[in-house]
A and B are shown apart, each in its own frame.
Chain A
Amino acid sequence: DAGVIQSPRHEVTEMGQEVTLRCKPISGHDYLFWYRQTMMRGLELLIYFNNNVPIDDSGMPEDRFSAKMPNASFSTLKIQPSEPRDSAVYFCASSSNRRVSLVNEQFFGPGTRLTVL
């Protein structure tokens, strides 16, 4: 299995531009998570989906952020317009609800480092 795939790995953009981050979860996984990591705030959960449906988006910082999951194999996180304070590493993770035990391990992608100038 290729693991969770994220693209791009690095993104540099100017303030005000639209940014789209992409994620392909592990095949067969039911849950998909978007996290943001910064030095100041650590690792924060932004939103997560179950079977393509958003379950909890309470971590989304503001209306400039939106996430979609049109099918089981693809999700996007969009920032429009972007601001310098959005600079961070954005992680996507997925997990399976088909529990062998009662603990679901989240498998993380390599992250996208976003820099907004």
Chain B
Amino acid sequence: AQTVTQSQPEMSVQEAETVTLSCTYDTSESDYYLFWYKQPPSRQMILVIRQEAYKQQNATENRFSVNFQKAAKSFSLKISDSQLGDAAMYFCATANFGNEKLTFGTGTRLTIIP
């Protein structure tokens, strides 16, 4: 079974600064995918970024990037130039190739300080 661990229940960052959210996972599969989802106060879950495990290059989406360390089973999310709209719960998730099931971590609540 897969497990996803987010060891930081809460984080805060000054507006315009950079913050990194941690995620580690455990899987016996060699082909899998990793995701970061954002859940703002509206409750809507929104995909932020995704990474295929077979790709060595770290994924980036504008101000969001990941640091994927496959051997260490680590998948951290870096948010650059933090904005007030980034305030949300962030969930790390994983899914095996060929299996649509997502396994989520417990989330990190990110607060942006104006």
A residues with a Cβ closer than 8 A to B are 31, 33, 42-43, 45, 48, 50, 55-56, 89, 91, 93, 95, 101-108, 110-111, 113
Interface pair B106/A42, CB less than 8 Å apart: yes
Closest to B98 in A: A102
Using Cβ atoms and an 8 Å threshold, which residues of chain B touch A33?
100, 102
Bound complex: CA of A56 vs CA of B103, how far in Å? 14
Interface residues of B (CB under 8 A from A): 33, 42-47, 50, 52, 91, 97, 100-107
| A50:B100 contact, CB within 8 angstroms | yes
A50 CA to B100 CA, complexed, in Å? 9
Alpha-carbon gap, A95 to B52, bound state (A): 17
What are 8 inter-chain pairs, A to B, with CB distance below 8 A? Answer: A42-B104, A43-B107, A50-B100, A93-B45, A102-B52, A102-B97, A105-B47, A107-B47
Other A-B pairs, 15, CB within 8 Å; known A102-B97, A113-B43? A31-B100, A42-B104, A42-B106, A42-B107, A43-B104, A45-B102, A48-B101, A50-B100, A89-B43, A102-B52, A103-B33, A103-B50, A104-B100, A105-B47, A106-B102
B96 CB → nearest A CB, Å = 12
* A104: nearest chain-B partner, CB-CB: B100
- Within the complex, which residue of B42, B50, B97, B103 is in contact with A110, where a contact is CB–CB below 8 Å? B42
